[in-house]
Structure formats: C-alpha cells, structure tokens
Amino acid sequence: MPTIVPPQSPVTFNWESVRGDLAGARLEFTKDPPTVWRFSYFPDFLGFRSKIVQRIVGILYVPDQHMSIDGSQFNQGASSAPTNSYLYYIMGPLAGSSGPKDGVVVGVGTAEFCASIRDMLRSINPSVEMLITQGDLDAFVPGSAVVRFETIGADHPFCFSTKEEQMFRILEDQSYSQSTRLCTALLAMFPYIREELSKRMEIVEDHHSPEEDQTTITFMGSGHGALDPGKRLTLLAIYLLAPAYSRRERLHEQISRRAQAASIPNQMPFYDAAKTDDLINAIQWKVGSMIALVDDVLAMIICRTIDGMTNPDAKIHELASASDLVRSGAIQPLAGALLDQARLVYTNYHSTSIHFILPVFELVKESLGENYVTLQSEMTHFATIREVVANSPYMGLRSQLPDQYHIKNNAKLAYLGLLYHQGSLATEEEKASFKEYNVAGIREHISSSADRIMVENIVRVLPEHSTTALATLIQHIPLDRGQLLMSGKAKETQLEVLEILRSRPNRGPWAEEQIEAENSAYAKQLIETGVNMMKNRLNEQFEIRRSMADNLVDPMERRAKIDEAIRWRASILAMFNELAPWTDALPAATRMGQEAIKQESIKRFTTIMQKISGTSDMETDS
C-alpha cells in the first residue's frame, strides 16, 4: 500500500509544490487540501490507480527544475529506480478548461525515470494529459537540492469517503488494511461520525469529478456491477459486528443470525451461515486484529447520545435510538437496523468481568457487611461506579478504559463474582464456556495469597443462587454467552428471568432478543391472520366482478371487464407483500409494546381492505 504524506508537515512535498504548474496549465484543485499519497512499489501504484483513478493529469519533475526528495524511493520491480526517484498521487478533484480531473500523478527523479513513468501512465490510460515536454526531459541536468520530509507511514489509519459501489469494492479489497475497510464501511453507514472521525484518522475523499457531490448511500444497490443485496447486507454486518466476537469458529453463525434480524424490517435477502462463512474467508477477516482506535470509532456510532455526543458511560435512555436517527435522516433504514443489532452484540464489550460483581455486591453487604475488612476498600470503590456498571452497557467501548473501571482495582470482588457464578454451572457446555473467562488472570491481580484464600472461602458462605441473581448476571453479559447459559436452564427459569428483566430499564441483550423474538412472532401471526381474512374477502369481490362481467352481451366488453378484474386482483395480491373496522378478529396484543405493532399492522391492512372493498379503483357498471 502507498503511504499518506501528512499535509501538516512543514517540509513535505505536497499539493502546494505543484499548484503553480497546474495553474499554468489552467487547472486548480477544488478541494483544499487534497490527500497526497507516496508510492514505493510499481504494483502498489497499479492497484491503487485501477481502483481510484479515473481521469488523471501527469506532472514529471527533474531535480534541477524543482527538487529531489530524500525518503522512500520508488521501486520499479526487479531493480530499484535511479537514486532520488519518487512517485506521488495527489487525489483531486481538479477543474480546468480541458474538463474535470480526479487527481495528479507526480514523478520526481532522473530523466530516464520520468520518461518511464510517462510511458507507464500512457500505457494505463492513453488519454492521460502530460504537463511536461520531451524537450524538458532532454534538457535535464542532475541537481543536488534535497528536501527532507517525514511520512505518516503505511500503518497510519485512514479510510475512504466514496460512492456506494466503490465503497463495496474497497470492502472486498484485501490490499487495504482491515481497519481501513472497516472504518470506510462505518463512515458510509453512519455519516454523523465524520466530524469526530476526521480528528482521529485521515478521511480520503474520492470524488470522480468536481461537479459530483457525494450522494446518499442507500445500500440497496442497482445498475450494472452492483452487488446482490444479500451480499451487501452481509458485508456491512461483518464490518460492523465482527469485532465484537473473539471466536472465529462461530463467527459466521453469529453474523448470519444478526444479518437475518436486520433484514426483516428492510425486506432484504441475507446470506445463510455457509455463504457468510465463504464471504468472511474471501475478505480474509482476522479475528482480534483491529487497531485500538476502532473501539473509539464504534463508540462514535453506538454511544451516540440524544444531544449528539459520544459517551460510553451513557445510560440506555440517554442514547439516540436507531429509529430516531432514521426519522431525522441521519442514517438510512438498513443502517438503523444494523445499529440495533450492534447495540445487542457490543453490550458489556471489554467489560464482562467487572459485571460479575453486580450479583454478589448486595449479597456481600447482607451476609458480611460492607465494612468487611478483606473487601472494604473495593466495596467502597465499587459503590462509586456501580451505577455506571449496572446501567451503561457500553462503558468498555473505548480504546483506553478509565482507571476506575480496570479489573485490577476491583479484583477481589470480580474474583468472588466469578467463583459465585461458577458454582451455578450445571451443564458441561456451560462449564466449557466458563473456561474462556480469565479467572486465573483476575486471581493474579490479588497480590496477597491470604486475600485470595479468603475470597475463596467467602463464596462458600454466600446464599445459594436466586433467580434474581441469575437475571442480574444475564442482564450484564454478552448476547452469545447469555444464550449459552440460558439454554441450559429450565423453561420455567427462562420465563422467570425474562419477566424480571422485562421490568428493568436496561434489560440486557438476552432479554432484548427474547422480546424481539416475541414481537416478531406476534407480527407474523398478525400478518398471517390479516392476509387470510383479506384473501377471503378478495376472492368474494373478484367472483362478484367476474359474474357481472360474464353477464355482459358484448364479447369484447366482457373480455375487457374480465381482464380488468384480473388486473385488479393482481394489484391487491401485490400489496400483501408491503404490509380496520374488523380489527377485533386480530390476535390480542398480550405484551407491553405489542400494541404499537398491532396498530401499525392495522394501518397497512386498512389500505388494502379499502382497495378490496371497491371504494377506490375499479367501479362496476350497474
């Protein structure tokens, strides 16, 4: 990959270096300052150009005319380029008398090097415009001036702001780092992060011409070369959700399940687990390979508050809901559906261990008193952060966790909580999953061996597990772990835990998913019941219209009326896919929140029923 040349460096080669020559050619940048890339290898340039550059201008400088540059030189394959030979691309856009351009390729070096770059550019694009003559090259005399500069380096974080189809090509291109691809996807889905993101990484703007502004990315896809909708949805789900998972062997199942959930409100196809696995392999996703900054970028999305700030310590009710962001036009509906899924899977991300304290905190106070000597300092400390730990599910979503949340400052209570939970495990699968928690590592944070033994003894005197304690734990552990733990519990226990969590402001990802499943099942039942009722009414109305048409004497008029009735019925049937005085026949809304689902369904049914009843559309002759 090429490297970004920092525009803020006082001695760097940058776009100012070529402004005068471009002005002489009646070309000027329409965006200040453009991004400058430096290339070290020929394949890098070819690959970069084929993905980004459409219309370019070439400028070739020999050192006696302008400069030579001390830095990473350009390698042309088998042998290095001549000393002090460099290749840059300045990403425009430019405006000029000869039409818009996307950027400028700049070669700096010997006459031979500049000639080779000129020929290379013309082989790539025969219409490339060169702002240097053969006479300039023939008159070359080596110079000695050297301009030194610093580069950010290949690992400097950057992402692209680009048009929709180009964005999806970048997501599948392994020549870019995983972090670059991820942040490109996140910026496209959640444009409200742009201002904050630009302070943390380089955003490379890709406009194909100056008159083309960035258009809204809808993610629905159309036109030649567009990816199929299922692949688009799954790619976006991978880049948004995959960092939450630490186990590659189950990643495809988790992503497919989340993509399916996001597909329902948007009526989009999704990839099953097998196809998702193929796509994860195709983009070479590497679990655990993200730079720390990605956590902060995810927080900009997930921890967006009602007042437009990023706050990982925010409570659930303080966050801007996905539906509100969609209604305000801040994000597209598909991004909203994926945001809902992200808020499920990132619950207690990087902060699971500290949440094991919550079920035992009150038990310790009741059984031993909050001033019990071994735990006194940690009990006092945890009391100051308990509100955040209990009610801020994204407190760990940041590159640097504040010191007060570090497990080293809560090690005894965390160790106690883990041991207490371990005592409740019943199935072998639960016990195997528990091994993933770093219990030994937390134990090592307790410096005194006597304190470790004391904690191990304390757990034996705490009351046996209650359903309330289990609910508190389930509320504060990640979705996949909650699913695994609850799958081994009796159905009665699951329902009891769900009822406890249903009444809490922060219900946790497991309960949210259960409630979502309840609502989805209820919505499906509503639609099935309503559609059956309307199909019966539709068939009755169609037979009436067909009978009236059959009674017409004129054969042509009779045929026309029958065709009209058939088209009318087809138009009604089509409306069923889009989803009333007869609402009493619909299933009752038994759960809080389902009444809203029922009312929305009724509105959609009413439109169709009115059309069936003949109050609009075709009117039969009497």
Higher pLDDT, 195 or 533: 195
| Of 59, 69, 74, 41, nearest in space to 137 by CA | 59
User: Which pLDDT does position 149 carry in this prediction?
Assistant: 44
Q: What does residue 523 show for φ and ψ, rounded to 5 degrees?
A: -65, -40
H or E element: which one contains 37?
A: strand 35-39
Question: Shortest CA distance to 363 belongs to which of 481, 460, 450?
Answer: 460
Q: Does residue 585 surpass a pLDDT of 50?
A: no
Q: What is the mean pLDDT of residues 483-490?
A: 76
Please give the structure tokens belonging to residue 233: 């949805």
Burial classification of residue 196, based on how many CB atoms lie within 10 Å of its CB (0-12 exposed, 13-18 middle, 19 or more buried): middle
- Confidence at residue 217, expressed as pLDDT on a 0 to 100 scale: 63
Q: What is the pLDDT of residue 220?
A: 59
Cβ–Cβ contacts within 10 Å for residue 467, how many?
A: 14
- Higher per-residue pLDDT: 179 or 582: 179
pLDDT of residue 202: 79
The tens digit of pLDDT for each residue in 379-411 reads 999 999 999 998 899 999 999 999 999 988 999
Closest CA to 262 of 340, 376, 209, 171: 340
Q: Which one has a higher pLDDT value, 428 or 95? A: 95
Res. 588 pLDDT band, cuts 50 70 90: very low
Which band of pLDDT confidence, cut at 50, 70 and 90, is reported for residue 619? Answer: very low
For position 497, what pLDDT does the model report? 87
What confidence score (pLDDT) does residue 601 get? 66
Residue 137, pLDDT score: 66
Give the domain ranges of the chain: 3-148, 161-211+225-345, 352-506, 513-613
Lowest mean pLDDT among 31-45, 493-507, 524-538, 605-619: 605-619
pLDDT of residue 206: 62
pTM score: 0.65
Most confident of 295-299, 352-356, 512-516: 295-299
How many CA atoms are closer than 13 Å to the CA of 14, on its beta-carbon side? 17
For 58, the 3-state DSSP assignment is strand
Tens-place pLDDT, residues 266-283: 778 889 999 999 999 999
What are the backbone dihedrals phi and psi of residue 75, each rounded to the nearest 5 degrees, phi first? -105, 125
pLDDT digits (tens, 9 = 90+) for 197-251: 988 887 877 644 333 444 456 665 554 456 788 899 999 999 999 999 988 998 9
In the numeric block, the tokens 């619950």 are attached to: 347
- Find the range with the poorest average confidence among 101-110, 141-150, 429-438: 141-150
Percent of the chain's residues with pLDDT above 90: 22
Question: Which range is least confidently modeled, 82-86, 145-149, 451-455, 521-525?
Answer: 145-149
Pick the residue with more confidence: 167 or 214?
167
The DSSP 8-state label assigned to residue 404 in this structure reads: G
Q: Burial letters for 303-326: b for 16+ Cβ neighbours within 10 Å, e otherwise? A: bbeeeeebbbbbbbeebbbbeebb
- Range scoring the smallest mean pLDDT among 10-24, 247-261, 292-306, 459-473: 10-24
The mean per-residue pLDDT over the stretch 250-271 comes to: 87
**What pLDDT shows up at residue 471?**
83
State residue 144's pLDDT score. 39
Average pLDDT score, the chain: 78
More confident site: 548 or 466 = 548
Model confidence pLDDT, tens digit, residues 81-110? 566 677 888 877 788 776 777 788 888 777
Q: Are 107 and 72 in contact (CB under 8 A)?
A: no
Determine the pLDDT at residue 124: 67
Helix (H) or strand (E) holding 38: strand 35-39
pLDDT beyond 70 at 578: no
> How many CB atoms are located within 10 Å of the residue 428 CB?
9
- Which residues, listed in sequence order, are joined to residue 90 by a DSSP beta bridge? 36, 104
Q: Give the pLDDT confidence of 291-323 residue by residue, as tens digits.
A: 889 999 999 999 999 999 999 999 988 999 998
**Cα dist from 196 to 187, 207, 216, 297, 583, whole Å:** 11, 21, 19, 9, 48
pLDDT at 326 over 80: yes
Lowest-confidence pick of 367-381, 384-398, 577-591: 577-591
Taking a C-beta distance cutoff of 8 angstroms, is the pair 385, 424 a contact? no
Q: Is residue 493 very low, low, confident or very high in pLDDT (cuts 50, 70, 90)?
A: confident
The single residue listed with the structure tokens 């993200």 is: 290
Which pLDDT belongs to residue 395?
93
Matching residue, tokens 């989340």 = 258
The pLDDT of residue 160 is above 90: no
